[in-house]
Amino acid sequence: MSAKDWPPRWPDVNDPAVLDAMAAVPRHLFVPPQYRDQAYEDIPLPIGHGQTISQPYIVALMTQALSLRPDSRVLEIGTGSGYQSAILAHITPTVRSVETIAELAEAARERLQGLGYGVCVRAGDGRLGWPEHAPYDGIIVTAASPDVPPALAAQLAEGGRLVIPVGEGSWDQMLWLIRRDGDRLQKQFLADVRFVPLVASASPHEPEDTALTQIRKELQSLFSRR
């Protein structure tokens, strides 16, 4: 498929803002040169450091699940090459992104700035989010976590949405939508997926306080229900 025919028609992606963003963001500028002839195929591609740029369909599906508005505040975990960041920034100008791998974070920051996307990117442990600028209307995680990090759920605004792939192995991952409804969290299954694992920092221990401990227990209860 060529750029002029992009994006494909996905039967379960129909949000006009998402489709406009997918059409507007030049995916070939977010993949290594040796893969640019495949940029407009609906497949993931390597970007180095053992990471990938996600399949466009999954990017669109996850973005749609956030139900973004032009004034939404969004946090992305796993900047990668910056493609998902650019899709988000095409819908709302307030996007922050955390990338564990410093080299990827720096390259994505330069790429996004060069293309005119005002995304704030920093290197850090994505499981901890970016609490200084919380709460967020949407949080999107672009790598698979063995669980839902309590720190991310804690940074959701009222009515906020967290989209995250959860699973230990590459063949046992599920994409979930977590919604904050008052003092409760709700979950919705979206799709079976395959993502690279979420890379933790050298210190995997999250700081715990009473609120985080309570959210951790709530998440454990939420995922123990059928």
List the catalytic residues.
54
Is residue 215 a contact partner of residue 206, using CB atoms and an 8 Å limit?
Answer: no
Give me the residues paired with residue 175 across strands.
165, 191
Could you tell me the pTM of the whole model?
0.94
Cα separations (Å) of 163 from 16, 20, 61, 154, 202?
19, 20, 10, 14, 25
Question: For the segment 164-221, what is each residue's pLDDT rounded down to a tens digit?
Answer: 999 987 678 999 999 999 989 999 999 999 999 997 765 555 566 788 899 999 999 9
Rounded to whole angstroms, the Cα distance separating 141 from 190 reads 14
- 177: part of which helix (H) or strand (E)? strand 173-181
Check residue 49 and give its pLDDT.
Answer: 94
Question: For the segment 116-129, what is each residue's pLDDT rounded down to a tens digit?
Answer: 999 999 999 999 99
Domains located in the chain, CATH noted: 58-199+207-224 (3.40.50.150)
Is residue 196 a contact partner of residue 50, using CB atoms and an 8 Å limit?
Answer: yes
| Per-residue buried b or exposed e for 177-206, using 16+ beta carbons within 10 Å of the residue's own CB | bbbbeeeebebeebeebbbbbbbbeeeeee
Please report, in angstroms and rounded to a whole number, the separation of the first and last CA atoms in the chain. 40
Mean pLDDT of the chain, nearest integer: 93
Tokens of 210: 């009473």
Give me the residues paired with residue 215 across strands.
none
